[in-house]
Amino acid sequence: MVNKMNVLNVNEGQTTSVQEPEPKMKAKKVNVYYGNNHALKDIDLNINPNEVTALIGPSGCGKSTFLRCLNRMNDTIESCRVEGTILLDNQNINDKKIDVVQLRARIGMVFQKPNPFPKSIYDNIAYGPRIHGIANNRGDLDEIVHSSLKKAGLWKEVHDRLDASGTSLSGGQQQRLCIARTIAIEPEVILMDEPCSALDPIATAIIEELIEDLKSRYAIVIVTHSMQQAARISQKTAFFHLGKLMEHGDTATIFTNPTHEKTKDYITGRYG
């Protein structure tokens, strides 16, 4: 048991802070239904700023559904019904008064499959700032594109072909382009839905490094199927099982000393 934990290479030093910061997002009693299917049951979870929160669990456990609740992406699914409270800076995002378009600008999302627009690299990144009126002139826009690509670690590779189509890049580059596109509108929280599952190990390593960098500026929530990845990059881990949040807490604690039997089984690979 203990041997296996060592393999997971838990980054313990960063997770043992005593003082918990004020959470960026708080989910309280969140229930989600797809038609008659009760997909998420009474989820309570806090998401801290400047931390990576990993959502883990077997397929179909509801972790992606929960992630999509956080920026109300589930609104686009007709049969989906969300109950409960999700606070962003103490404001309920499920409130009718909240403008969902602005909310999604504040909470960015990176998807499982890289999905750049079939436009130029420049236009991919400039799209968000344009529709939100963040940049008023070409100079500002150039600056945003430049800095976003730099932050996403893509500048060196594409600076001489910003006019090339975003779809002409490799899979890993496309995913970094999507991250650059997301941070171009300066969100407060970034949601990542298995961002590395379609990528090779080298591209995955680059993205993980990038997440490590981005952590200093944003609250990051990442859904992942890779235990190693969760252990490597996250400070908090939440384990979902059959629509329930079984256990959550510091990554180090979850991986070394899980309280729940199911969690233990899952992270050791005996189940799921």
Partner 1 sequence: MTDIPENDVPLARVDWNSPEQSARLKKRYRTEKIFKSLAVLSLATAIAALMVVMVSIFTTGISGFTETRIELDVTLDANVVGDIANMSRPELETHIASINVNNILVRSLQAKFPDVTKRADVFALLRLFSVGAQSDIRKVILDDPTLVGQTVPISLLAGSDVDMLMKGNISREVEQADRKITDQQLAWVDQFNEEGKVEQGINWTFFTSGDSREPELAGIWSATVGSFLTLLVTFLISFPVGVGSAIYLEEFAPKNRFTDLIEININNLAAVPSIIFGLLGLAIFINFIELPRSAPLVGGLTLALMTLPTIIITARAAIKAVPPSIKEAAIGLGASHMQTVFHHVLPLSMPGILTGSIIGMAQALGETAPLLMIGMVAFIVDTPGGILEASTALPVQVYLWADSPERGFLEKTSAAIMVLLAFLIIMNGLAIWLRQKFEKKW
Full DSSP string of the chain: -HHHHHHT----GGG--SSPPPPSEEEEEEEEEETTEEEEEEEEEEE-TT-EEEEE-STTSSHHHHHHHHTTGGGGSTTEEEEEEEEETTEETTSTTS-HHHHHHHEEEE-SS----SSBHHHHHHHHHHHTT---SHHHHHHHHHHHHHHTT-HHHHTT-TTSBGGGS-HHHHHHHHHHHHHTT--SEEEEESTTTTS-HHHHHHHHHHHHHHTTTSEEEEE-S-HHHHHHH-SEEEEEETTEEEEEEEHHHHHHS-SSHHHHHHHTTS--
Q: Is 80 in the site for partner 1 (CB under 8 A)?
A: no
**104 counts as binding partner 1 under rule CB under 8 A:** yes
Is residue 185 within the footprint of partner 1 (CB under 8 A)?
yes
If the CB atoms of residues 7 and 101 are measured against partner 1, the closer one turns out to be: 101
Residue 109 is a binding residue for partner 1 (CB under 8 A)? yes
What string marks each residue from 28 to 67 as x (binds partner 1 by CB under 8 A) or -?
----------------------------------------
Closest contact distance (angstroms) between CB of 43 and partner 1 is 21
Does 195 engage in binding with partner 1 (CB under 8 A)? no
Residue 223 CB, nearest distance to partner 1 (Å)?
14
If the CB atoms of residues 135 and 254 are measured against partner 1, the closer one turns out to be: 135
Q: Which is nearer to partner 1, 46 or 71 (CB)?
A: 71
- Does residue 197 bind partner 1 (CB under 8 A)? no
Residues forming contacts to partner 1 in the complex (CB under 8 A) are 71, 73, 76, 78, 101-105, 108-109, 111, 113, 115-118, 127-128, 131-132, 167, 178, 181-182, 185
